[in-house]
Amino acid sequence: MIVVTCCLIPFQLSFHQVVLPLGTVAVYIIDSFFWLDILLNFFTTFRQGGEKITDARQITRHYLRGCFAIDLLAVLPLDALFLDQPQLTLAGLPLALILRQLRLLRLVRLFVIFNRWKHQAWGRADYLRLVHFFILFLILMHWIACIWYLIPSLTGRGETSWLAKVPSTDPSTLYIRALYWVVTTVVTVGYGDVTPVNNYEYVFAIMVMLVGAFMYAFIIGNIANLLRNLDAERARYYRRVEAIGAYLDERPIPLRLKSQVRDYYDYLWAHHRGVQETAYFAELPPLFRLELLLFLTQDLLDKVPLFQLSTPVLRNALLLALESHIYAPGIPIAEAGAVGHELFFLSRGKAAILSEDRSEYFGVLEEGDYFGHLSLILGERRTAGVQAMTYCEVLILGQEAFHTIRREHPEFDGVLQQVAAVQSDKFADLLLKGVVL
């Protein structure tokens, strides 16, 4: 509605120059929406000091001290006072149409709206800034075209102006010619078929050229900045990867390990934008972080019997204590011969259960499986190890957190027994082979 207003009102003044009933109806219909907008602004929350203000009195006071005066002036039908007096003119233009230009103050609301969107868009602010500028650019081109056509009327030089070269009197044709001149002038093309004739037009043309030069520099600068910041995170990530690669090149590292490191970071970027999810939210308060984890680990919660059988309180305690790790193919997740100090949950990928010398294969662990509880609870050394077959994303519960949860949540032991019963076939088969994980 703001853009429509900014286009319709100047067009009526410049190219119609008379008050048309249909145009007046259209203006007042649009006004009705802005009256409603003023009413809604008395109930629209705002942010102050990083906090959302919901108090009705503060909202009212904030709006009255802010944009209320501009919004009210832009919607008051002052032009209605002169609709039945078309003879009242200023510089040959109806006073009603001149007063109607106050509605262009609504452009201020466009800045307010985009500022709100930028706050909500986070990483997309650069895109919004470009869209905002593009809309303002189009509105400015329209206004300049209206002024360019209006100059001969205001100066009384219709016969010695650029209009003398245009045979048509159709408003649409005249607008297209005026807009054509604006675009060719602003973008510094200037074919010369539509040119200024008198001094007033030459002065205005010089001003438009200066505006065009400024806008050209502004556009190029903003586009360059946008392209630079479109994926600043990717640039930072690859700078870090390049630093790691340079460090490895200075050391006698086998090519196989270098390749594994490179593949690992490629996977990390492809699936997690170079950072594991939990690292993003480490600074959040525990309960807020828990709410996000419940969504991020929904697949794991649905697959792992431990979470399915746990009470919500126990499940939440487990989620807050878990640490996320990623293992590349061929990388050991748990070593044979070591006493287990962790409980592992496989959220993505496949892993092989191998003997200590990796000569014997005992089975495969898939998404939703977990291991490490036997060695952790019994305090025995693992008789087999686990090695990633594909890229594996693993959630690890440390020994200290494990015992803390057992102490604070006595029902945890019962849940572990139920889980063991659910997966008894797989673990019984491993136990029969003498495998303790």
Q: How many CB atoms lie within 10 A of CB 312?
A: 8
Average pLDDT over residues 350-356: 88
Average pLDDT over residues 188-208: 82
More confident position, 230 or 68: 68
Please tell me the distance from the alpha carbon of residue 60 to that of residue 40, in angstroms, as a whole number: 11
pLDDT in tens, 147-190: 988 888 787 666 778 888 777 778 888 899 899 988 888 877 76
Q: What percent of the chain has pLDDT over 90?
A: 5
- Give the per-residue pLDDT at 386: 92
The answer, as to whether pTM is greater than 0.75, is: no
Structure tokens at 24: 């007046």
Confidence of residue 50 (pLDDT cuts 50, 70, 90): low
- Give the per-residue pLDDT at 36: 92
pLDDT in tens, 271-299: 766 555 555 666 777 778 788 878 877 77
- Give the per-residue pLDDT at 147: 92
Average pLDDT over residues 72-88: 85
Rg (CA), the chain: 35
More confident position, 239 or 156: 239
263, pLDDT greater than 60: yes
Average pLDDT over residues 334-351: 86
226, pLDDT greater than 60: yes
State the pairing for strand pair 323-327/370-371: unpaired
The phi, psi pair for 46, rounded to 5°, reads -140, 170
Q: What percent of the chain has pLDDT over 70?
A: 89
Structure tokens at 145: 């075209």
Mean pLDDT of the chain: 81
Please tell me the distance from the alpha carbon of residue 311 to that of residue 361, in angstroms, as a whole number: 36
Q: Interhelix angle for 125-155 vs 2-11, to 10°? A: 10
